[in-house]
Amino acid sequence: MLTKDAWKEKKFKDYNFEALGAPPAAGYFHPLMKVRSEFRQIFLEMGFVEMPTNNFVESSFWNFDALFVPQQHPARDVQDTFFVSDPAEATSFPPDYLERVRTVHSKGGYGSAGYNTEWSEAETRKNILRTHTTAVSARMLYKLAQQKEFTPAKYFSIDRVFRNENLDATHLAEFHQIEGVVADYDLSLGHLIGILHAFFNKLGITKLRFKPAYNPYTEPSMEVFSYHEGLKKWVEVGNSGVFRPEMLLPMGLPENVSVIAWGLSLERPTMIKYGVDNIRDLVGHKVDLQMVQANPICRLDK
């Protein structure tokens, strides 16, 4: 047509310079990653430092024993925890710290009677898929305790954890845990409640209630509830507490240093934000890729 000038005898419609072109092929952020980014930004705004969380495989020592979780606790059974077969055991622990943990479990110390049960080093060496990111917090607090002079610190993490759960619409065998940790002199339950209000206010959650709870490694411990305007009732949004002296003092932290911490899941607020009723529609092989492409940008109601 061009070489023979045939185009001169053809009639062409006017070119529309306002028309949209074909959308280029590109990657899309999953809703979990969008909500994760918002949570991460909130922590950074509050002056927290992100902890390294790239080790999914953890020893029972850091996941349980360093946190003063008894070796007979049901959370350490195969019904709740995934054990690693190769390598089945960890081999490297700080020897002095290991002995202090053994002592506080089996005989007590630091004002505690301990559990007065036999403590097995073979049990503490077992490798598992970490059941919570508090194992990372324990490593960071031990590292903090090794400094010549203690300096207050604020840490956070958002990463994957694994539990041998029964699968249903709200539970999977793996999920993401959001965790905040503050270490400073003479912190109290009042400081924990205050920072929880500040944190959840940034999420747009202003109505909070606290209920006493039990955790092996925190005392006092509190469940955090928020009033859900849509459901017209109080719903649990997180867990919190003050780390026990039996966990902190064997690390080498000063006696007048307290550590407050809280945690929540990433999946639950994401499901609420994007109106997802079944967690298997959000994570796993049944995820609709069109949903990933079409979901809107995440802006938490700060």
Which of the two residues, 129 and 22, has the higher pLDDT score?
Answer: 129
The letter for the amino acid at 232 is: K
What's the pLDDT at 240? 94
Please say whether the beta carbons of 115 and 165 come within 8 A: no
Residues 118-125, mean pLDDT to the nearest whole number: 92
pLDDT band at 79 (very low <50, low <70, confident <90, very high): low
Residue among 181, 166, 143 at smallest CA distance from 49: 181
Residues 110-114, mean pLDDT to the nearest whole number: 89
Please say whether the beta carbons of 159 and 170 come within 8 A: no
Please say whether the beta carbons of 59 and 90 come within 8 A: yes
> Residues 6 or more apart from 223 whose CB is under 8 A from it?
210, 211, 212, 213, 236, 238, 239, 240
The letter for the amino acid at 176 is: H
Tell whether the model's pLDDT for residue 182 goes beyond 80.
Answer: yes
User: Which tokens hold the place of 204?
Assistant: 């747009």
Tell whether the model's pLDDT for residue 187 goes beyond 70.
Answer: yes
- Taken in order 251, 161, 189, 112, the sign of the CA dihedral is negative
Helix, strand, or coil (residue 256):
coil
Between CA 225 and CA 220 the distance in angstroms is 16
Tell whether the model's pLDDT for residue 201 goes beyond 70.
Answer: yes
pLDDT band at 298 (very low <50, low <70, confident <90, very high): low
How confident is the model over 241-296, as pLDDT tens digits?
999 999 999 999 999 999 999 998 888 878 777 777 777 888 777 777 777 777 76
What's the pLDDT at 254? 93
- Inter-helix orientation angle 31-45/267-274, to 10°: 120
> How many CB atoms are located within 10 Å of the residue 33 CB?
13
Tell whether the model's pLDDT for residue 91 goes beyond 70.
Answer: yes
Tell whether the model's pLDDT for residue 15 goes beyond 60.
Answer: yes
Which of the two residues, 302 and 197, has the higher pLDDT score?
Answer: 197
How many residues are there in the chain? 302
Mean pLDDT taken over the chain: 87
How confident is the model over 230-240, as pLDDT tens digits?
667 888 888 99
What percentage of the chain carries pLDDT values higher than 70? 96
Is the pTM of the predicted complex or chain greater than 0.75?
yes
Specify burial of residue 11 (Cβ count, 10 A radius: 0-12, 13-18, 19+).
exposed
User: Which tokens hold the place of 7?
Assistant: 């185009």
Pairing of strands 153-162, 174-185: antiparallel
Tell whether the model's pLDDT for residue 297 goes beyond 70.
Answer: no
Residues 194-217, mean pLDDT to the nearest whole number: 88
What's the pLDDT at 246? 93
How confident is the model over 131-158, as pLDDT tens digits?
999 999 999 999 999 999 999 999 999 9
Helix, strand, or coil (residue 86):
coil
What's the pLDDT at 219? 92
Tell whether the model's pLDDT for residue 65 goes beyond 70.
Answer: yes
What's the pLDDT at 26? 76
pLDDT band at 213 (very low <50, low <70, confident <90, very high): very high
